[in-house]
């Protein structure tokens, strides 16, 4: 990824840490947001958990909050929806 592509993402600072939302990443790369969340958190299929990035980070003994921060946003129907804020290391 080129530097100009990264500059087009909307970064914000939360608790002194630059982060980008999973929604912005999905939009930037033309992906569905639900697929980005599945990649990060994994999913349950047929009563079995399919690992995501957070599972891999934790299994390596690293704290997931250094990479991903759980968050929510309000959609256009005024509903609270899940998103993830990604740190530089999570991105």
pLDDT digits (tens, 9 = 90+) for 3-43: 455 557 888 888 888 999 999 999 999 999 999 999 999 99
User: Considering the entire predicted model, what is its pTM?
Assistant: 0.81
In whole angstroms, what separates CA 41 from the centre of its chain? 8
Among residues 42, 38, 89, the alpha carbon closest in space to that of 68 is found at 89
Check if the beta carbon of residue 91 is closer than 8 Å to that of residue 25.
yes
What is residue 57's three-state secondary structure? helix
Gyration radius of the chain over CA positions:
14
């Amino acid at each position: 990824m080129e530097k100009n592509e990264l500059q087009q993402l909307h970064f914000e600072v939360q608790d002194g840490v630059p982060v980008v939302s999973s929604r912005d990443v999905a939009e930037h790369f033309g992906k569905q947001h639900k697929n980005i969340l599945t990649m990060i958190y994994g999913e349950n299929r047929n009563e079995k958990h399919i690992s995501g990035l957070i599972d891999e980070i934790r299994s390596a003994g690293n704290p997931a909050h250094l990479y991903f921060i759980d968050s929510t946003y309000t959609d256009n129907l005024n509903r609270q929806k899940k998103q993830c804020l990604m740190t530089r290391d999570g991105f």
